[in-house]
Structure 1
Amino acid sequence: MKKILMISHSSRGGGAEIIFLKTADALKKNTLKIIFNSKEGFTVKKAETKKFDIEIINNFILNTSVVKVIVRFIFWNSVSIFKLMKIIQKEKFDYIYSGSIVNYIGGIAAILTRKKHVWHIHEMDNVGYQWFNPKFNFLVRYILKYSTVIFVSDGVKNSWLKRLSLKESDLEYEIIYNPIKKLNKKKDYFNAKNKKITIGCAGGFCKNKNQKFLIETFIELQKKYDNIFLKLAGDEVVNEGKRLIENKISKKKYSLYDYTDISIFFSKIDILVVPSYSEAWPLVAIEAASFGLIPVLTTEGSINELLKESENAFYINPYNSTELYEVLENIIINYDRLKSSISNNNKKLLEKCEFNKKFEKRINSIF
């Protein structure tokens, strides 16, 4: 049994935060303590319900502003690192685990206390969307070379090797695909036919998720196709969605949810669109595929390692205003045929993957 100190931010409950909790569940046979940067947010609330040993140490993650990062380091993060070091030394932790590329203070504390550091990297470096300013490349490069790194896909690994001018031989790393949520669905869902076609998107409303792109495309599509409907779910979707839709879509043709159970949401839609500017390994896409939906996914990610174009999903460039329209139009026109082939392909593919079983085994092998 190992003693592991786990560090995460807590906000809207994005993919990295969900996998952080799943990692903690996978490691629960060990002695765990979890450090969050805030007492608010999705992740800390979930961790509390699971009865984990939790402590709050205020700190700030990396971002694109050099001034903010430096000022916050001087006045906050340096103190937070000192607090972490005291906890590590007092409670004699064997490992420090950091979830997400932007959580860096755990790596510094591990280096200073000469403890083993595991860094779980979920994000993909994209030209159009940067997680932190390039001036901090030196810091991330140094911590990565000290750590055992978990990348969620080959694409994620390759994107950071390229940005940080690293070779594979510079790192000790593992590629571990994330587990997926077990969903409740009707047994005959893979063979369902539907004359009304509902297009959906799930995720907290923000610039990166690019819901505006889907809304604008739907507004144009509805002029030609009367049998389509739109449903959006996620934090701030109701307020922001209404603002973008205004009177451009009939109230009978769209629904907005701040939150809904994903199984219930999937049961109401036929096509899931993930139009993000950066989406390294979208769990929602794999879960949609397991549910029998047709996934339409951003090219700015690495999920194509698993879901192949036209066989398991369709891909669109989030910077190209016509691609999403053309892909959705093709699905609308050929819905029954594409639904049958893609959902059955995905059923066969995902039955072989055993994501959850492999995830727990491989995570534990690192510690």
Structure 2
Amino acid sequence: MRILITSPSLDINKNISGISSVVANIIKWQRDKYIVFTSGRSDNEKRDVKWLLNQFFFLIRYIKILRVSNINVVHINSAMSELSIIRDYFLISIAKILRKKIVLHIHGGKYLFASHKPIILKYFIQDSLKKSDQIIVLSELERDNIKNKFNVDNINILQNCIELNHAKTIPFEDKKNVIVFLGRIVKDKGLNEIVEAFRLLNKKTNDFFFELCGVGPDFAIYDNLFNELLGNRYKYNGVVNGSEKWDFLKNAKIFLLPSYYEGLPISLLEAMSTGCIPIVTPVGSIKEVIKDEYNGIIVNKYAPDEIMEAILHIIKNQQVAEYMALNAALTIKERFNILNYKEQLNKIYDCL
């Protein structure tokens, strides 16, 4: 079986993406089985005339690969956002015309749970689901939502997982009050709320340090804001990967991700595996992972006051924090180990 799999750039210097992390893990097992087709723009790529021309050649290149590379299966990794929905509709339609088997792998997104969708986007979603031979989602919640709204049955649950051989923990009492954000630096990750939460937190305590890791189109805005607000209690670390990333996570007490929408973030699972306590919003499949006050803290969207209170709660209550940190690591070890992922994915391919 020869599989074309779509993904944003796998080069972490060009793109920070949970989908890229998932695809990198998938192809690592059976690299000769997959052809990676890069879709989506890099974080710093502008939508200009050059970008528009690239979209035309993008489809030509896609058709050429499907025709000449002996592809049996097209594995589309998609997020339910405007451009992804439109782009992947055309990729799926072309694959269908060329009689390829199609796996549509949905990774959360703005329109996954939205009650109102523009008519054209709703049509694209419905038709993409209908044309797909197998559909993959990240949780029971996502499966039930898609099944009820779009009346499709060929849905498989495949939770994102991580490799645990890098996940190391240190005694919680040895940690300083370090807070980390690791991911794409963009407003939708809740960065406005993080700024305001720190503004409120400064009135209560200055005994904390913030580490910002990642890259994204809004970096300059937030780098300036955090510098002005926190001074020498803030550091931007750029893109971190490998052992450097794991060191940041294991040394931090708190992982912040108050996103407006998500799928099931790899960075969240990685942080939890090191005993870093997540403060997150109940979006996408996150609410099937985090149990409030058990293995993390759930705050509402657009609620900087709740973020501030959650941070204070962890900083001021050592025993409660240790309990949540232990359960965070245990949750990943028991439920999100990567060992079973490959077997489950191959079973889905075998159904085609």
Q: TM-score, normalised by structure 1?
A: 0.79
- Specify the code of the residue in structure 1 equivalent to 2:321: K
Distance 1:175 1:108, change over 3 A: same
Residue 238 of structure 1 and its aligned partner are, at CA, apart by 6.0
Match of 1:276, SS state, is coil
Paired with 2:282 and 2:139, the residues of 1 have a C-alpha distance of 15
Q: Relative contact order: is structure 1 or structure 2 higher (C-alpha 8 Å, sep ≥ 6)? A: 2
Query: Do the aligned partners of 1:272 and 1:296 also contact (CA within 8 Å) in 2?
Result: yes
Query: Do the aligned partners of 1:273 and 1:297 also contact (CA within 8 Å) in 2?
Result: yes
What's the C-alpha RMSD, in Å, of the aligned pairs?
3.0
1:95 aligns with 2:65: no
Distance 1:82 1:184, change over 3 A: closer
Unaligned segments of structure 2, at least 5 residues: none
Q: Deviations over 1:249-278 (max 9, x none)?
A: 2x2211112122321211342111111111
Query: Do the aligned partners of 2:273 and 2:330 also contact (CA within 8 Å) in 1?
Result: no
Residue 138 of structure 1 and its aligned partner are, at CA, apart by 1.0
Residue 8 of structure 1 and its aligned partner are, at CA, apart by 2.7
Paired with 2:72 and 2:228, the residues of 1 have a C-alpha distance of 58
1:218 aligns with 2:198: yes
Equivalent of 2:98 in 95, 113, 116 = 113
Paired with 1:96 and 1:85, the residues of 2 have a C-alpha distance of 12
- Specify the code of the residue in structure 2 equivalent to 1:225: T
Q: State the match for 1:241 in structure 2.
A: 222
Q: State the match for 1:33 in structure 2.
A: 35
Residue 86 of structure 1 and its aligned partner are, at CA, apart by 4.1
Identity of aligned residues (%): 22
Alignment of 1:1-367 (within 5 A): 2-10=1-9, 12-28=15-31, 30=33, 32-37=34-39, 41=42, 80-81=58-59, 83-101=61-79, 102=84, 103-104=87-88, 105-125=90-110, 134-147=119-132, 148-161=134-147, 165-167=149-151, 170-182=152-164, 184=166, 189=170, 191-194=171-174, 196-236=176-216, 239-249=220-230, 251-260=231-240, 261-334=244-317, 336-353=318-335, 355-367=337-349
Aligned length: 327
Match of 1:193, SS state, is helix
Residue 28 of structure 1 and its aligned partner are, at CA, apart by 2.9
Unaligned segments of structure 1, at least 5 residues: 43-59, 61-67
Paired with 1:77 and 1:199, the residues of 2 have a C-alpha distance of 39
- Specify the code of the residue in structure 2 equivalent to 1:3: R
Q: TM-score, normalised by structure 2?
A: 0.82
Residue 229 of structure 1 and its aligned partner are, at CA, apart by 1.8
Query: Do the aligned partners of 1:213 and 1:275 also contact (CA within 8 Å) in 2?
Result: yes
Residue 90 of structure 1 and its aligned partner are, at CA, apart by 3.1
Distance 1:227 1:85, change over 3 A: closer
Query: Do the aligned partners of 1:96 and 1:106 also contact (CA within 8 Å) in 2?
Result: no
Q: Which moved more, 1:120-129 or 1:310-319?
A: 120-129
Paired with 2:71 and 2:167, the residues of 1 have a C-alpha distance of 42
